[in-house]
Structure 1
Amino acid sequence: MRSAVATALRGVLLTGLYFAGAVIALLYLRTPADVTLFWPAAGIGYAMVLRYGLRYALAIPAAQLLLHLLVLPVPLAFLPFSVSGNFFGTLAACAYVASRQPRLRLRISDGFLLLRGGVLLCLVSALTGTLGMYIAGMASAGELPRVYLQWALGDLLGVTATTPCLLLLFARHMRIAPPLPVVASVRERATWIVAMLLALVGGMAIVHDGSLYPLSVATLPLALLLWSAARFPPLFTAVAAMAVTVTLGLTVGIGLGGFNRPELLSDTLQVMSTLIVNSLIPILLVASYHERAETMAALHVRATFDPLTGLLNRDAFEERARARLSRNAGPQTLLYVDLDNFKLVNDATSHAAGDEMLRHVAGLVRDGFDDGALAAHSGGDEFTILAPQDAETAAAAGRRLLERIEDMRVAWQGGNLRATASIGLASSQPPHASFDELLSKVDTACHEAKDLGGNRLLVAGQNAESLRSRSRMMRNALDAREALDQRRFELWCQPIVDLHAPGAGQAHFEVLLRWRDGEGRLRPPAALIAAAERYRLGPRLDRYVLDAVLDWFEAHPQAVPLVEQCGINLGAATLVDEEFAEYVAERFRRSTLQPGQLCLEITETSVVRDLTRTRRFIARMRDLGCRFALDDFGTGFCSFSYLRDLQVDYLKIDGSFVRSLADSRLSEAVVRSITEIAHLLEMRAVGEQVETEAQLEQLQALRVDCAQGYVFQRPVPVGDFFGMPA
């Protein structure tokens, strides 16, 4: 009921507005048979139907009928044509515009679309009205071209003068760009209004004095309208253009201020064309300026916000966070949120499902902190928040966020996706620490939280030793990356001796790495290799080693016949790298070393991570001719259960058992068992880290096949090992 009343009331108001526009136009008429120079009602009807829909087009014939009944009587034969002319023209124009752009925007293309629709309105309306005037005897056949052209131009002037202004007043649904960077002051607007009044009054005075240069009446207002388009909001310019056009139209059309009303068709066309151009150009310029502003705003949004989540992107967040910290205003707390095992969501469902989950988490992040907090989607499954809070308050908000993420259910293809997260937190008091320092702390704390099982919040500094250990690991990873980039790894070798034939001619050895730090000092690689594995540099490091080994033998072909087996260690990540096998096959095609001379050493712990892929990798490498050794054997939890399914040639007994042979009957039993199982599976057992003759004798007594350790030789550079020093 309320909606129906509101609709009816709006219809009455729009009818009244159209009626008022028509009454203004009557000021141009001297007789009912005249054709008005300006019909603002055409633009009013066009705007209201575009804004409120076709049903409100009925206000046009209703207002037109009231006009003829109350103000301007016309011959009865002309009445239906007058009532229906604008009605059908407006329907045609609005249908045309809606078919091409259902949602109008303040831009050049939509402006020209409205203009084309306005021209269509004018042509239909003028055709209907001209036909009516001829049938009613109000115009002769010879006058029809003049009547048609004057009618159409009067409607077009009404459209260009009033439609943009009314659309901006009516159309809340229109997309208006943000204000331009330069916003005019109240003083500038007042100056503009005074200048426009002076231009209009001065122009009329010039004409009244009989000057030969009345062109200023049109050019000065146009120049001021262009100023308005460049500096003021769209609605201000639209209202100004309408007011100036109506003023000039009345002045010229009625003959005020010394103007002579145009009598000839050519004079009428010149006057009306000038007024149409004056009303049109400022609006098109406004659309151009604001289309550019909208484009710049969109580019700014794209450069500032993450399109997936609507949060700040990483660069914008860091810029704003640095600025906030530099102001040293109150406590600030940085939180780093990382979803646990998010890769499983992408792998098990799809990246689209992962994106949906990220959008939900972003909503929780946004709702979990007040408007004063900066929140960003930093990339992948990571979010960063800088809250103007102390550590205790921010930690409470962070824990609530963890609970909400854990309780979150994301519907996806008939099921529900779930997630947990880990959060690192670091707080700062004025004068604040640098952003990079805080970020390093929260990143370390977050990764520590993930290592502890995830779904928890850790405050930087509360687990100092663990965080320092992680920081060292991260620095080692950076050192590893730098050493790889600068090729500062060196190849060293240690022999593996056959205990049944210790004087064999060909060399069986393991390639070991050493690296030089930035000061040129030789360093052991253990920490660096562990960090490389941890931070996904393992496959790159393994490729580097393989390539370096093959390069060395290609440079020293005389050493190739001396090689029985060259052992190279592979990390866990390499075993599941689908491209590594292809790389090895391609690399051996141009190598002097044969695949059968290469033994790839893999650890027991890396095998159990993905047994299926490991089997596939081993099978592919064995097809090339490579051999395999299972390194550090005996330290796993279920070694024997999967050993029979692995095609390996050597079992390398972990050095911890070898070193304790003399003191531990358990170690002796383990070594004996591993050796017997190796022989049963037609493999060879290798004892690692043999340091004394006593250990060597015990290994021989236990029928271990090979041994490696300081008792034979410490690792030496590969050139020294083959007697070819650099």
Structure 2
Amino acid sequence: MTLFKEIVAVIILTFCINLMGVLWLQFDSTKEYLTNQLESDLENMSSSLTIAVAPHLESGDNVMIDATLNAYFDGGYYKKISVTKFDTNEIITKEMEVAVDGVPQWFLDLEILSPPFIENEVTSGWYQVGKIKVVGHPGFAYKQLWTSFVQTIIWLGGLGLFVIFVCSYAINFVLRPLVRIQEKAKQIQSHYFGEPLPVPTTKELRDVTVAVNQMTDKLKEQFEEKTKLHSKLEQAAYVEPVTGFGNRNYFNRRLDAWLKESGNGILVLIQIASIEEMRKSHGWQKRDELMVVIGHYINTIFDNDETVIKTRTSERDFILIVQESDKREVELKLKQLATYFSTVEIQELFDNKNIYSAAGVKVSHKADKESIVALLDQTLIAAKESTSGVSVVEIEPNCGHIHTRTEIKEALELAISESHLSFRHQPVFLYNSIEPEHFEVFTQVHIEGFKNVTLGTFISVMNEHKLGSDFDKNIIAKAFEYAKGNESQVLALNITKSAMKNYQFIMWLCNKVKDNCESKDRIVFEFNEDSVLNDMDNVNTLCECLNELNFKYGIDRVGRNFESLSYLKSVHPDYVKVDHIYTEMVLKNDDDAYFVDSLCTTIHNLDIKVIATHVENEMQLEKLKKYNFDGYQGFVIPAKALAL
């Protein structure tokens, strides 16, 4: 029971006790008054009756005695009148039952009133000829007593309700700071700190509120320090300090992840010739200043696009992974970038005037890393020999037709509209559980004749033409239908990046979950970190809706970007799946494992579960246990077919 209810209960109990006391005093006073009235009436009546019946008792005229009794009995309100004749011991009696209109029988049965009576002896001269006994009728007294009782109950009951209402409002107002403290404690438990609490005027609550605010600030500061520490460690390991781009380690990990997951886009190599000579002649500081300017040029040309991964892998080489891009558009941007190197300020720093060359390899069909890198080197040689210094080529498929993006779009639209889809689901386990936490659903689109097109190309076309909303609606509708008949499985559904950009889709999804609230324990939603960083408004709208309806949700590919993890405080998912880069860091290099431990610890501080991905065997599974992961997912337990 809440403190508010306990206080109100005490007030009600106290009021009821007082009410009972007041009722009893009122009741007893009324009863005594009515009894005195009856006794007074009986005295007058008995004296009159004694005088009236005396001659008839002396003469022994029973008829007149009876007539006299009838006259008095009918003219008054008495329960019983009796006359006893001493000479014959005969008793003449008139009696009326106690029944009162408007008074319930149970009240009469309580026999609260003892009817008063009076006895007078009738004399004739010095002789006693009889005795008269008159018993008052309590009906009128019961009527008055009942009426007084009901009126008192109504008045005190109404007054009690009013007092309880006023007290409840007052208590609620007084305890409002305590409620805010309770809510703040729950927020702190979930590692959400929010704004400081307003300080109340009540001294005791004021002291507690100030203490809670100080504790909140301290915990918030500690969390931010841990987040900054993780960011600093990550920056030191994966960020090139001069330009702020990723370093070679970062490039290698992102290239592997890109080729494994999508492999669609353009790999760009930008090389600045004679940078070593420039450093020797102008010094380290001048070289670093030039690198900062070049980095700024690259950011300007590519508009700080989140789909472009920028790295500086050596003193003279910049490598970009331009995801989901068009070959001609990238070629134009590289030529535009070349114009910056023709300015007088940069040219005067170099003896060699041909200082800029850029090569690009477009990947839209399946190819291995070695082939792509080898082709990139060949293309760079060709770029150096060209007049523009830029060359972009597309890697040829091993066999088959090179499909245009329009052909891929039309094939995708047809497959989605006709539901040419199949599904698999892979379990996600927690380390402390033998039952799956949920099953992540994977969807395969069946399109004939497109086997040489990479998954990344399909995803790129889907995002480019905003097909993700229709794709996700199809899958979500099937999943809800499946959940109605399968209560034993929890399905995790991934929402595509293009769908998360679509506000109309977010509203559709909110309405869909409202219509299927009974599935809240069997459907989980996931979206990736890029959506959180780039579409925060839509993400917040969706999270508010899911939280309101008690649906769980998670974030995928966490930690891939160099962004702070502070967004987790506002989104606060039930779990996160860290990018498989971190899994590979633990498995390949023990020296990098502290980054993983730092990441998991930072997320755990927000009371969020951390899931490792791409776990392939039992040996890896055992090794990952050391680094604060709560669960795992991967080929260690392969995905199986799912009939949605």
TM range (shorter): 0.3 to 0.5
TM-score by length of 1: 0.34
Higher helix share: 1
Whichever of the two has the greater Rg, that structure is 2
TM-score by length of 2: 0.38
Q: More relative contact order in 1 or in 2 (CA 8 Å, sep 6+)?
A: 2
Higher strand share: 2
